[in-house]
Amino acid sequence: MSDKIRPQHLSRKAILNVRQSPACQVTHNLESQKLQYAMQERLRQLGWRVIEVVDEDLGRSAAGTVTRGIRAYGAGQAYS
């Protein structure tokens, strides 16, 4: 565990944003995708209980996801 991660961090929801990629990368670059999804387990190991995986924008523009993340951060629901 990192000494930089404090209880106030772990009390918030972690948002794992699986990187938005063009459609061809989504279908052909699976290793990168597997590594990104593996980050969810790492977040658990670090102590987060609530983890939201944002991946609905794969192969599309990330504009909606960015807006959603900003809203969550502004509402104190996410830690960056």
pLDDT at 74: 61
Please state whether 76 falls in left (phi above 0), alpha (psi between -120 and 50) or beta: left
Q: Per-residue pLDDT tens for 31-42?
A: 777 888 899 999
Q: Per-residue pLDDT tens for 49-62?
A: 999 988 776 655 55
Is the pLDDT at 10 greater than 90? The verdict is: yes
Nearest-angstrom CA–CA distance, 65 and 70: 9
Give domain limits for the chain: 7-74
